[in-house]
Amino acid sequence: MARWARPALSAFRPWRPAGWRSLFTEVGDVLGEGRQGPSGRTDMVATSLWGVRTAPCAVGLAVLNSSITGGRRPISFSASASSIFGSGGNSKKEKLFLQDIVELIQARACQRVVVMVGAGISTPSGIPDFRSPGSGLYSNLQQYGLPYPEAIFELAFFSHNPKPFFTLAKELYLRSCRPNVIHYFLRLLHDKGLLLRLYTQNIDGLERVSGIPASKLVEAHGSFASATCTVCQRPSPGKDIWADVTEDRIPRCPVCTGIVKPDVVFFGEALPQRFLLHVLDFPMADLLLILGTSLEVEPFASLSEAVQSSVPRLLINRDLVGPFAWRPRSRDVVQLGDVVHGVERLAELLGWTQELQDLIQQETEKLDGRDK
């Protein structure tokens, strides 16, 4: 979605004086782990958060990653991949290539993969992105009578005139879009026990439809899966509003008659509480995979730099973006061009092509049966 400003981070207040204590409490609540004793895992994380003031997201890196190679059989890596684990006999950091990433995954040397995705993974499913000239949503909103395109996602405008937003929501809903090969590749990562967390900017919910469980998802900009009354804050399942939306009626709360808004993050709204999981997930990651995003929207974009410098980052994208363009690391691997082709190439090198095709067929049959 459009530009959520950096100040949105202030909603979580993690960097204020003594802020690590409240952050520890909130993250513990998100994870459902409560407040453990002095020797518990949560306490370890809370203590290490002290370092956040000078190195955001550097949560106990040495402790959390100390077991990255422990207890595994010896592995034969390429020279550049070996240098990650200090087994190459050369302390010089060598550039990685796509084949090195493949070898690390195949050897189970990367078992905590964090994924970041944007609109580029949903456009193959028929959902337009926001910024592409001519085809993006912002280029085609004149019909809604907006003072400027971004107004459709502003609370003040929504409160005054919610009809344009719900007209757009209806248009997207009636497309009945389905997950594509990218979504199912990420599902396969989960099925193989490699997916630590998937952070998505998309509000279409296709990650859920592909079968990735909600516990593995952080929908940074919300989704249509749930909705909330703008007056009394009564929550409801997102499906409850679609009967009204498809009939061009504004959804109203049955209790107070306030407007019911899908839990999509508008400009100036705080990001979902689950976004706090990034302070735990990114320091634990041993591979960061970034797909189909411009890395322009904050604070989501800054997460691309939250993994430690020794962790490989793989960008599969149409363009070179964010820190991959202006502050690349030696462990960065970039696969530019069509994102679907890039993911299919990665699956082929991993030897997962048949598994991926079988998964797509299985899930497509399920969706076909559900639509009958």
Query: Would you say residue 7 lies in a domain?
Result: no
Last residue within a domain, chosen from 232, 264, 296: 264
* Catalytic annotation, pick one of 160, 183, 190, 221: 221
Q: Is residue 40 part of a domain?
A: no
Q: What's the confidence (pLDDT) of residue 93?
A: 56
Are 122 and 138 found together in one domain?
no
* Residues 365, 319 within the same domain: yes
290 within domain boundaries: yes
- Would you call 76 helix, strand, or coil by DSSP? coil
> Comparing C-alpha atoms, which of 27, 59, 117 is closest to residue 301?
117
The reply to whether 253 sits in an annotated binding site is: yes
Cβ atoms of 150 and 181 within 8 Å: the answer is no
Model's pTM, two decimal places?
0.76
CATH of the domain at 143: 3.30.1600.10
**Largest distance between two CA atoms of the chain:** 69
Tell whether residue 57 is among the known ligand binding residues: no
221 is catalytic: yes
User: Do 357 and 311 share a structural domain?
Assistant: yes
Number of domains into which the chain is organized? 2
| 361 in the same domain as 256 | no
Tens of pLDDT along 289-307? 999 999 998 899 999 999 9
Q: Are 253 and 357 within one domain?
A: no
CATH of the domain at 350: 3.40.50.1220
The structure tokens 């919610």 sit at: 162
Q: Are residues 333 and 241 in the same domain?
A: no
Please state which of the ranges 4-13, 27-36, 77-86, 255-264 shows the lowest mean pLDDT: 4-13
Model confidence band, residue 244 (pLDDT cutoffs 50, 70, 90): very high
232 contacts 255 by C-beta, under 8 angstroms:
yes
Predicted confidence at residue 250, as pLDDT, reads 95
**Residues 229, 347: one domain?**
no
110 annotated to a ligand binding site = no
Domain of residue 104, residue span: 95-127+179-221+273-371
- Is 140 inside any structural domain? yes
pLDDT, mean of residues 61-80: 35
Q: Determine if residue 177 is labeled as part of a ligand binding site.
A: no
Q: Would you state the structure tokens that stand for residue 363, as one six-digit string?
A: 């899930």
Tokens 């900009």 locate to 221
Amino acid at 309: S
Q: Which two tokens stand for residue 200?
A: 């998505």
